[in-house]
Amino acid sequence: MATSNPVKTTPEYSEGSIRVLKGLEPVKQRPGMYTRTDNPLHIIQEVLDNAADEALAGHGKKIKVTLHADGSVSIEDDGRGIPFGMHPEENAPVIELVFTRLHAGGKFDKGKGGAYSFSGGLHGVGVSVTNALGKRLEAITHREGSVARIVFEGGDVAEALQVRKAGEGDRKSGSTIRVWPDPKYFESAVLPMGELTHLLRSKAVLMPGVSVTLVNEKTKDSQNWLYKGGLKDYLMQTLNGDPVIPLFDGEGFADSQNDNFAEGEGASWCVAFTEEGNPVRESYVNLIPTSAGGTHESGLRDGLFTAVKSFIELHSLLPKGVKLMPEDVFARASYVLSAKVLDPQFQGQIKERLNSRDAVRLVSSFVRPTLELWLNQHVDYGKKLAELAIKAAQTRQKAGQKVEKRKSSGVAVLPGKLTDCESKDIAYNEVFLVEGDSAGGSAKMGRDKENQAILPLRGKVLNTWEVDRDRLFANNEIHDISVAIGVDPHGPNDTPDLSGLRYGKVCILSDADVDGSHIQVLLLTLFFRHFPKLIETGHVFVARPPLFRVDAPARGKKPASKAYALDEGELTAILDKLRKEGVREGAWSISRFKGLGEMNAEQLWDTTLNPDTRRLLPVTLGAIDFGATEALITKLMGKGEAAARRELMELHGDSVEIDV
């Protein structure tokens, strides 16, 4: 019997179907991966950051931004100018590489002799993204007695580099970049003026003595910012409400004798405490605004809290039964914080949140002693601040007790496996659903008893996608989860009583391997199907434990250190950093965690439980709505959907790197 070839319904998948995106193609194909696409402000900011980096390095005193009548924007500075000589290896002018290669720039060469020790740019995707998403870009650079000009269109060179001798009317050094953003890449081609002026003003604040100007050709308006008094001037002008005590400002930077941090790393800050009004909170890393905060803000919080707490203890000011939390001190604080970090790691390409773990200790180590000293020199002001923090703690504890009374009538007995926390304050309480008893043991020892609870789960949880709500409690694990959280199972259209909720954060904590991912999926299925309101109100989170640990030997003044990596990508970045610091190839040791049970309590706290340094992902609906998400999970978790899952594997199997 002859066998017929099956009919091919999918296009052929062979060597020829793999496309390698060259040059700036990846940016044009997926602009959202590299920048914000709601408007072109972020691609303008990339150029502005470069001008600010020049001023930060001490090479410029003026930055001028012009909004031209034809919709283009130009940024002019008096820095050193972009080099335009030939690159020794690439056989192209350096200025051309800066605008056409994704990972080219003067900011990768950190440490000794690098052109920039501290800079906001790190990914090296900077101005090349500006170029990729612009219809046209003109760059003029003045340096070493010459003026060079190059023009790009759609990211490609349109007019080759021309160099002429500088004439009498020319500047000595500096660069002017003029860009025409391409509206097809942005939802709106209009620059948000409020955000732009705020950004320019903040640059002036952070660089006292540097003049920043904005000129609008259409309206003939021009604004100039120059702050001689830096952060204090700025915070006084923007503060809502009167400060309870005088503004606390200061700065601290590591010197060459510092064992823990690189020379020049540190922070300057100004903090005001007010009784009412919305707090003003702005933070920057190497002059880049970090709108989503990050580890440097955690360092400020930690420094303020430990200083105020030790002042309160020293003067015995804490009433009986009151427990002080970091948020009690931080809740009424307004601040501007400007941190300098040698090799900043950001979350997301648009650098809105700082992720570098060391920044917590860095900022805290300078803020704490300075504030402690100041409070003890001004005891009256110290007592006023202590009063504010104690009042906040009492209000918080009262709110917690009210809820407790309402819940205590006929409440189910809490599961025996649950190790509960001491605090009754739902806003701060967290429960970790931990895979396996051994990991549960480490988590119990490593947690913060005050507000972290642990519920160990045995093995795989039931797949509840097609289980009736009435039958859910037949499964012990699910019964325990529901009772521990304090919320009954419900559907998407029900209005469940969330007043019994016992924890503000319900965190899924499983191994970083395939089994761990499976348990994570089963628990997410449970919450999406039977506790959808918890996801909708932002109470469900996934903890990300690391997969690798790197032990590095002592190097120079830096002592031996441990670093953790979530995945291969972060591991590569850590090793690159060690090489830059002069560690001999292979002198480090890399260990891989098979599971959470292998971590001791201290490691688990450092990497996964400590709010300042952990990675905790909030669970929310993605780009698709509830119905589409439901259909997708049915495909993944439904009993009769094996064929659909097989099709998914055939389609996407090649793109998954799996570690079984």
- pLDDT tens digits for range 646-656: 888 888 877 77
Going by the annotation, the residues of the binding site for ATP are 13, 50, 77, 121-127, 351
Percent of the chain with pLDDT over 70: 90
In angstroms, rounded to a whole number, what is the distance separating the alpha carbons of residues 433 and 477?
11
Give the end-to-end CA distance of the chain in Å, rounded to a whole number: 40
Task: Based on the residue annotation, tell me whether 448 is a catalytic residue of this protein.
Answer: no
Let me know if 364 is exposed, middle or buried by CB neighbors in 10 A (0-12, 13-18, 19+): buried
Does some domain include residue 155?
A: yes
pLDDT of residue 246: 94
Is the domain of 333 the same as that of 202?
A: no
Q: What DSSP string describes 502-557?
A: --SEEEEE--SSHHHHHHHHHHHHHHHHH-HHHHHTT-EEEE---SEEEEE--BTT
pLDDT tens figures, 192-206: 999 899 889 888 988
pLDDT of residue 16: 55
Is the domain of 185 the same as that of 273?
A: no
Is the domain of 205 the same as that of 116?
A: yes
Q: Where are the alpha helices (DSSP H) in 447-500?
A: 476-485
In angstroms, rounded to a whole number, what is the distance separating the alpha carbons of residues 255 and 261?
8
Task: Based on the residue annotation, tell me whether 168 is a catalytic residue of this protein.
Answer: no
pLDDT band of residue 104 (cuts 50, 70, 90) is: low
Does the pLDDT at position 99 exceed 50? yes
- Higher-confidence position of 513 and 488: 488
Taking the CA atoms of residue 78, residue 84, residue 85 and residue 91 in that order, the dihedral angle to the nearest 10 degrees is 150
C-alpha closest to that of 571 among 554, 552, 584: 552
Amino acid (1-letter code) at residue 221: D
pLDDT of residue 362: 96
Does some domain include residue 463?
A: no
In angstroms, rounded to a whole number, what is the distance separating the alpha carbons of residues 136 and 156?
9
The residue ranges of DSSP E strands in 254-361, in sequence order, are 266-273, 281-285, 288-289, 333-340, 346-347, 353-354
pLDDT band of residue 554 (cuts 50, 70, 90) is: confident
In angstroms, rounded to a whole number, what is the distance separating the alpha carbons of residues 221 and 67?
10
Residue with tokens 């995106």: 21
Mean pLDDT of 154-161: 93
**Domain C-terminal end among 225, 246, 263:** 225
pLDDT of residue 254: 92
Is the domain of 146 the same as that of 218?
A: yes
Least confident among 93-107, 234-248, 406-420: 406-420
pLDDT of residue 535: 95
pLDDT tens figures, 421-453: 998 889 899 999 998 877 888 899 999 999 999
DSSP 264: T
Residues 43, 35 contacting (CB under 8 angstroms): yes
Q: What DSSP string describes 24-57?
A: THHHHH-HHHHS--SSTHHHHHHHHHHHHHHHHT
Per DSSP, the three-state class of 93 is: strand
Which tokens go with 594?
A: 């098979």
Of 511, 570, 606, 612, which residue is the catalytic one? Answer: 511
Is the domain of 306 the same as that of 243?
A: yes
Mean pLDDT of 12-26: 61
Does the pLDDT at position 47 exceed 60? yes
User: Inter-axis angle of helices 295-314 and 379-407, to 10 degrees?
Assistant: 100
In angstroms, rounded to a whole number, what is the distance separating the alpha carbons of residues 477 and 336?
47
CATH number of the domain encompassing residue 235: 3.30.230.10
The residue ranges of DSSP E strands in 323-451, in sequence order, are 333-340, 346-347, 353-354, 430-435
How many other C-beta atoms lie within 10 A of the C-beta of residue 96? 20
Of 195, 251, 513, 641, which residue is the catalytic one? Answer: 513
Mean pLDDT of 525-538: 95
pLDDT of residue 618: 94
**Domain C-terminal end among 369, 400, 431:** 400
CATH number of the domain encompassing residue 207: 3.30.565.10
Is the domain of 195 the same as that of 289?
A: no
Mean pLDDT of 235-252: 91
pLDDT of residue 170: 85
In angstroms, rounded to a whole number, what is the distance separating the alpha carbons of residues 260 and 58?
25
pLDDT tens figures, 390-409: 999 998 888 766 444 334 44
Does the pLDDT at position 231 exceed 60? yes
* Helices and strands, counts by H and E, the chain: 19, 23
pLDDT of residue 412: 54
Residue with tokens 């052929």: 12
- Higher-confidence position of 34 and 127: 127
Does the pLDDT at position 21 exceed 60? no
pLDDT band of residue 106 (cuts 50, 70, 90) is: low
pLDDT band of residue 161 (cuts 50, 70, 90) is: very high
Of 435, 477, 480, 612, which residue is the catalytic one? Answer: 435
Which tokens go with 106?
A: 């003067």
pLDDT of residue 262: 87
Which tokens go with 612?
A: 């300042």
- Higher-confidence position of 116 and 87: 87
444 contact partners, CB below 8 Å, separation of at least 6: 419, 454
C-alpha closest to that of 31 among 174, 129, 166, 147: 129
Per DSSP, the three-state class of 636 is: helix
pLDDT of residue 304: 97
Structural domain count of the chain: 2
Task: Based on the residue annotation, tell me whether 49 is a catalytic residue of this protein.
Answer: no
In angstroms, rounded to a whole number, what is the distance separating the alpha carbons of residues 180 and 71?
7
Is the domain of 257 the same as that of 216?
A: no
pLDDT of residue 300: 97
In angstroms, rounded to a whole number, what is the distance separating the alpha carbons of residues 582 and 572?
16
Does some domain include residue 61?
A: yes
Rounded to two decimals, what is the model's pTM?
0.64
Residues 343, 356 contacting (CB under 8 angstroms): yes
Is the domain of 235 the same as that of 358?
A: yes
- Considering 241-250, 340-349, 574-583, the range whose residues carry the highest mean pLDDT is 241-250
Task: Based on the residue annotation, tell me whether 435 is a catalytic residue of this protein.
Answer: yes
Mean pLDDT of 294-298: 95
pLDDT of residue 123: 38
Beta bridge partner(s), residue 564: 549
Residue with tokens 């990300």: 544
Edge-to-edge strand ranges of the sheet holding 505-509: 452-457, 430-435, 505-509, 540-543, 616-618
pLDDT of residue 367: 97
In angstroms, rounded to a whole number, what is the distance separating the alpha carbons of residues 601 and 145?
62
In angstroms, rounded to a whole number, what is the distance separating the alpha carbons of residues 470 and 422?
32
Does some domain include residue 420?
A: no
Going by the annotation, the residues of the binding site are 13, 50, 77, 121-127, 351
Residues 265, 231 contacting (CB under 8 angstroms): no
Residues 284, 383 contacting (CB under 8 angstroms): no
Does the pLDDT at position 110 exceed 80? no
Does some domain include residue 430?
A: no
In angstroms, rounded to a whole number, what is the distance separating the alpha carbons of residues 41 and 504?
35
Is the domain of 275 the same as that of 340?
A: yes
Supply the range of the domain harboring residue 200. 25-225
Is the domain of 77 the same as that of 186?
A: yes
Does some domain include residue 44?
A: yes
Per DSSP, the three-state class of 564 is: strand
Percent of the chain with pLDDT over 90: 52
Is the domain of 237 the same as that of 207?
A: no
pLDDT band of residue 595 (cuts 50, 70, 90) is: confident
**Domain C-terminal end among 225, 255, 285:** 225
Does the pLDDT at position 120 exceed 60? no
Does some domain include residue 509?
A: no
pLDDT band of residue 101 (cuts 50, 70, 90) is: confident
Is the domain of 245 the same as that of 205?
A: no
In angstroms, rounded to a whole number, what is the distance separating the alpha carbons of residues 301 and 353?
16
Does the pLDDT at position 526 exceed 90? yes
C-alpha closest to that of 492 among 639, 633, 617, 623: 633
Does some domain include residue 658?
A: no
Of 233, 448, 515, 641, which residue is the catalytic one? Answer: 515
Mean pLDDT over each residue of the chain, to the nearest integer: 86
